[in-house]
Structure 1
């Protein structure tokens, strides 16, 4: 019973604040316990999975308590009903160990925060990630995401952001039943590894380019190859190049209809109908034969956009003058005479556009044979830097291009001198790339065309559009580069 003296000494003003603090602590404890329990639950279920069944996610088998389970729902139900107390005990032990380890780590590294493990170094970021991703997931989604996150407890923040770095380019065509879960997994995985870049996920597979430290990219590759959806991938499927996370402004991961936008339903034109894949050595021999014999029965087809092939391409190729890959099917339809009864050798940057591009070309039934370069130009140049591909390799990040040889095949748009270093148009209302050499840029010639150059000279710039759609429309309408370019140009021959 509270006495009068107790009432006098009671801190009335802070009473509500103390109660709220207790509630917040309880809420935080519940969240930590819930996240830890989900992880322990996932690990327990994974431990019951037969190793052989992991090779095919559609034929998974779990053995527990003498029973055989063939679908996730049944093993999850069994674990929840029969092993709840065991999961609870394991969760408490995990939390106690984590708390002890955290205290020891804090005591050991108080003078050097940079050497903390990821959990200790950035608790605010970890909490933000948990609140924005984990807490919004269902239990099934949480299992699909957290079960395949690698253990980073022994890796310092300095290892993940320091040292040598690189950029990865990869794709994998593989049926994915729940793309949104793969998307959430990629978001969390890249965030934890401090990777930046772009990753597209669809029911037909995954396509991405990410940059970061080599320590982080190695962990990323290993995590990708261990995931049931991507166990068909090997280290050779990841093209590496010099770069870093700074090559990208941020991390963008999303679910799309296609992993590369061709504009046709993947169920209508599928990657499974792609042309025959040629290793770089085989492709090199085919191109060599075509050039030496001047074989008019073979077409060497570049599947990329015009600004890519402008700074680098294979000798004697047919390079469509198109701005987007989604224009490629229409280009094929309007130029079928170029491919009729011909052997077609196709190539692109990393191979992904050729997968469905070759499938579309085959669907026209006009070609005698359709072949494609496995691994794309990137893999070819790793083996043949002085082969039949001349010039730079365009990449879709802030580097703009990679150099494997010294050839310069493009010119400055203003003076005509050899030049192949892209920069963005200086007009605030344009996003086109421009080839303007250093002397011309020093003279103020920094726009992609005369219209944009004139806009740069105006004292009063046009006001910004009210919407993104208006902005895109204004860029197209006010730029000579796009106004004067045919959507689907007619081609009559291959380049020399």
Structure 2
């Protein structure tokens, strides 16, 4: 059974054409948490349907799927077929799964059920809440602000206690964002006023468990409005790679390079140009992040989320064999687990990672070897330190790197559509949604009508709940 389930994980993010059923109408009536549960059930139902079509060949043979009298050799091919041909069946499966799993939000909701079961022995967290009587509510809620990004790997004996403390602390300081707590540590990105975020940093540094310094926090211009709400929860991993931390621990991570050291390594790599065959500059972020900003001459995997990174490594072991690997990500946390996983394969000569991630590198080298925007997981979508534009408009192809939400209702996809194309009505993430939701204006770019070319079914950006 395990062999059937594993390949299905690749399909968990794919969306369906539900125009032939009443699924969207019913979904609109759900609360935000219920919609998350419903979406989870839809993805699982789709994965199970695809698994049922899998043909197990002989050892050494490639995987294939059979459906409607056709044989599909590629993951993307069977996915497209199911998404556009079996929407009604998937919707029926989704409804049944939703009724059964309404109270079990497995992926996106924290493990609150365990917390409720253990409330018989409450822990006093008041000692960890800073005194703010000398600070006005005006200072905590209004004025210039910033967004903090941080993580700390350490052994957390009771993550539910830390979770309760974090929630109380953030609420008191009127911070928004997301904080993930696990037995392996803590990972957070929160926004608020300068006063509120400064108090938060002091509180984190004062806690005896984390032993953090000021330089452990990456900052950028922003505020509480950069996030829709505050979400604090307990999870299996503080960054969702999909590999048990007990199996591949952060303690196996590669060698950390300060921004200055990493800069010299990249400089040496670029100086050799095509003559360098023993070093790989690896971007371990998602494709929609590297699409708008990356290091020069990097290797950027086409993955939708970080939980696909282990599969990418497994499928490309020969690429990394006997190579020196220089890894980077947004703030450093994905490299901790990613480099550990790569090292566990015992194929690389050396594995290094950029300490503090792109955030810290840009603080030191704003006009360095990283060009374009830095994608961030909040309402800003991207921040910049240089004027380079390395991506283009999804419709007309002109230089453009500012993401906008798809105009289709309930769609969480991101679209690179320039002002001219948006004025012409091109505001959806795919041609199918575009033709359903908008009448094309005269003179606007021609939009393909073939579903096979739709970004909804292959390589489309989406706003992730996690990395």
TM-score using structure 1 length: 0.65
SS class of match (1:370): strand
State the structure with more CA Rg.
Answer: 1
Pair 1:386-2:367 in alignment: yes
Pair 1:409-2:383 in alignment: no
* Corresponding residue of 2:32: none
Kept in 2, the 8 Å contact 1:161–1:212? The answer is yes
**Deviation at residue 485 of structure 1 after TM alignment:** 4.3
Distance 2:372 2:221 in 1: 17
Pair 1:446-2:446 in alignment: no
Task: Name the one with the larger helix percent.
Answer: 1
SS class of match (2:196): helix
> More relative contact order in 1 or in 2 (CA 8 Å, sep 6+)?
2
Over residues 18-42 of structure 1, what are the superposed CA-to-partner deviations in whole Å (9 max), with x where a residue is unaligned?
xxxxxxxxxxxxxxxxxxxxxxxxx
Q: 1:298 to 1:228 in 2, by over 3 A?
A: same
* Corresponding residue of 1:106: none
Pair 1:306-2:287 in alignment: yes
* Corresponding residue of 1:228: 208
**Aligned CA-pair RMSD:** 2.1
**Deviation at residue 368 of structure 1 after TM alignment:** 0.3
Over residues 63-91 of structure 1, what are the superposed CA-to-partner deviations in whole Å (9 max), with x where a residue is unaligned?
xxxxxxxxxxxxxxxxxxxxxxxxxxxxx
Pair 1:435-2:416 in alignment: yes
* Corresponding residue of 2:159: 179
Distance 1:417 1:425 in 2: 19
SS class of match (1:142): coil
Q: 1:447 to 1:479 in 2, by over 3 A?
A: farther
Pair 1:196-2:176 in alignment: yes
* Corresponding residue of 2:454: 480
Q: Which of 228, 232, 251 in structure 2 is aligned with 1:253?
A: 232
**Deviation at residue 455 of structure 1 after TM alignment:** 2.4
TM-score using structure 2 length: 0.69
Pair 1:321-2:302 in alignment: yes
Any residues of structure 2 matched to 1:14-413 within 5 Å, and which? Answer: 141-143=122-124, 145-231=125-211, 233-294=212-273, 295-413=276-394
SS class of match (2:209): helix
SS class of match (1:393): strand
The runs of at least 4 consecutive aligned structure 1 residues that moved more than 3 Å come to 135-142
Task: Number of aligned residue pairs: give it.
Answer: 334
* Corresponding residue of 1:5: none
SS class of match (1:331): helix
* Corresponding residue of 2:63: none
**Deviation at residue 164 of structure 1 after TM alignment:** 1.8
Kept in 2, the 8 Å contact 1:198–1:253? The answer is yes
Kept in 2, the 8 Å contact 1:451–1:479? The answer is no
Kept in 2, the 8 Å contact 1:451–1:478? The answer is no
Distance 1:359 1:381 in 2: 24
* Corresponding residue of 1:464: none
Q: Which runs of 5+ in 2 are unaligned?
A: 1-115, 440-450, 461-467
Q: Which runs of 5+ in 1 are unaligned?
A: 1-134, 459-476, 487-496
Kept in 2, the 8 Å contact 1:202–1:258? The answer is yes
Q: 1:146 to 1:140 in 2, by over 3 A?
A: farther
